[in-house]
Amino acid sequence: TFVVTENCIKCKYTDCVEVCPVDCFHEGPNFLVIDPEECIDCTLCEPECPAEAIFAEDDLPEDQAHFKEINAQLTKEWPVITERKEPAADAKEWDGKPDKLALLER
């Protein structure tokens, strides 16, 4: 499966959702997650993310390993998103900032 990681938080560009053939993205207030039970590993979303926040599970950086469980959990709580929308207004400022997990809104 593919996993959305920390750099999506407060950026939420949403380019990823348009290419997913099986609609596995779910949307929260300032972050998206991938449903691990729906993802078919097509790889299409990974290069679409301007924040480079999407990784194959097997390529997850060590410091992002906890996002696997975060994606699995929040998928159950958040609705599916299939259409691109405007990113956060200050997405560029937050792109690449460290330690954004504390800012994740649920």
What is the sign, positive or negative, of the torsion defined by CA atoms of 47, 62, 8, 98?
negative
> Hey, which residues between 23 and 52 contact ligand F3S (CB under 6 A)?
32, 48-49, 51
Q: Which stretch binds ligand F3S (CB under 6 A): 6-14, 36-44, 58-66, 72-80?
A: 6-14
Q: Which does 100 bind (CB under 5 to 8 A by kind): ligand SF4, ligand F3S, none?
A: none
DSSP 73: H
Q: Considering only the stretches 40-48, 60-68, 69-77, 87-95, report the one whose residues sit in contact with ligand SF4 under the rule CB under 6 A.
A: 40-48
Q: Contact, 7 vs 96, CB < 8 A?
A: yes
Whole-angstrom Cα distance, residue 51 to residue 78?
A: 21
Token pair in block for residue 7 = 């750099």
Binding footprint of ligand F3S on the chain (CB under 6 A): 4, 8, 11-16, 32, 48-49, 51, 53-54
